[in-house]
Structure 1
Amino acid sequence: MLLIRHGQASFGADDYDALSPTGHEQARTLGRSLKERGIRPAIVVRGTMRRHEETAAGLEIGAETIVDGGWDEFDFQHVVEVHRPSFRDRAAMMAELNTHDRPDRAFQEIFEAATGRWCSGESDRDYVESFSAFRDRVTGALDRASGHKDVVVVTSGGPIAMAAALLTCGAPGITEAWTALNRVVVNTGVTKLIGGRRGLSMSTYNEHTHLEADPRLLTYR
């Protein structure tokens, strides 16, 4: 099973969920790499989001596609807005971020503080989906996908990091592992899971050699 993060979305645009031009190029680049390596999955599973659909299309795999909302990203905009209510106004958010030399880094700091609050479990009633509910949703999606052989899953960074955390650490360490793994996952990064008698195990995480020939394509958000 290959878990693929979607290509770069359109941060700051009216429709964040659409891939940026770079995101489309990342998807095409990964698709060519998979073909060159002889990878021919039997099934493609993707989340319901536009960025998942456009990334899957860009891969041009040509296999049967199953749509499973369990692979959707958590609502990070909602999580950020709970932490920073002024960000409910998109123009106000962009105006504040643009006061910094690196708006992307400024947003990342706010994002990490917001997700830290969400992960703590101390304010679950403030969120449409709690962190524990998100964990359970991804667990179910992972179980369903594992019923297929030779499957590519097109999803988002949060579910990929959760799947990796679930497979590599016990319940007490899930929050810390998810936070660390989610921070580094790149657009169109590939995580390989192997099925065996004892279930799934993680072989590689966030592999992205297909992007290394063109540093312009290496993005995290």
Structure 2
Amino acid sequence: MPVIYLIRHAQASFGSRDYDKLSEQGEQQAVLLGKALAARGVRPDLVVSGSMSRHLMTAQLALAAAGLEGQAEVDVGFDEFDHEQVILAHKPAYRRRAVMLADLARTGNPHRAFQEMFSAATERWMREDDGYTETFQAFAERVEAAVQRTAGSLGKGGTAVVFTSGGPISSVVSRILTDGGDGLWLKLSPLTINTAITKVLAGLSGLTVVSHNEHGHLDGTGMISYR
């Protein structure tokens, strides 16, 4: 039966002006991920990546650490949603980054305050269409189409490794577990760990989640992260 491993990118540069690049810790996570894939005997017939730098760099480092040759095929269907647009639709004043940073700093716990604000922003995105180039429904549908494309590209017993983000992975899992629904997305997305592995089987009856958010390769390393 075809297998798809959905892998969240390694830690990006949260808090910097260029979020879309791996942090030093992220680079280390990607290497550990690659070694874990090799230890599990994962030999992909197909490697796919979203188009974002954090996806592509995670793929490059992990494949090299796993001793696998070749490059990932890019499928923009696996790209993360535009988190900046989602935040601005919720808090237009945050168009000025300094305003957002000042608001978060005043709370005394900027990381927690950001997560609370971001959760409210994503809830708004799920409910409303105004202010977004891509609605939540459009996002979920493009991700679903991307995973179906991947499944359709695999022969009997084939294996695909996909490097993507927490949002797309959570969307895939939510739709599989709730028979096409998005109700679990808000709960799953914030808890997706960097370089965590989600295993999906593609059978005649559709997709099945075998495991979700596996991150044993990071246990004991002190490198578990969510952003």
**Which residues of structure 2 form unaligned runs of 5+?**
none
CA contact (8 A) 2:81 2:139 kept: yes
TM-score by length of 2: 0.91
Partner amino acid, structure 2, of 1:138: V
- In the other structure, the counterpart of 1:205 is 212
- In the other structure, the counterpart of 1:131 is 136
The reply on whether 1:12 has 2:15 as its aligned counterpart is: yes
- In the other structure, the counterpart of 1:155 is 164
Q: Which of structure 1's runs of 4+ aligned residues deviate more than 6 A?
A: none
Identity %: 44
How many positions carry a matched residue from both structures? 216
* In structure 2, distance between residues paired with 1:64 and 1:93: 38
- In the other structure, the counterpart of 1:145 is 150
Aligned pair partner of 1:85 in 92, 96, 103:
92
Partner amino acid, structure 2, of 1:144: R
Partner amino acid, structure 1, of 2:25: T
* In structure 2, distance between residues paired with 1:62 and 1:203: 27
Write out per-residue CA displacement over residues 32-83 of structure 1, whole angstroms, 9 at most, x where no aligned residue: 1111221111211000000001100110232452100000000111101110
CA contact (8 A) 2:60 2:71 kept: no
- In the other structure, the counterpart of 1:178 is 185
* In structure 2, distance between residues paired with 1:209 and 1:131: 31
**Which residues of structure 1 form unaligned runs of 5+?**
none
The reply on whether 1:192 has 2:195 as its aligned counterpart is: no
Partner amino acid, structure 2, of 1:199: G
Give the match's secondary structure for 2:200.
Answer: strand
Write out per-residue CA displacement over residues 125-164 of structure 1, whole angstroms, 9 at most, x where no aligned residue: 3211001101110111011111222000000000000000
Write out per-residue CA displacement over residues 151-203 of structure 1, whole angstroms, 9 at most, x where no aligned residue: 000000000000001111034x41x2111111211110100001222122000
- In the other structure, the counterpart of 2:225 is 219
TM-score by length of 1: 0.94
* In structure 1, distance between residues paired with 2:70 and 2:210: 23
Cα RMSD (Å): 1.2
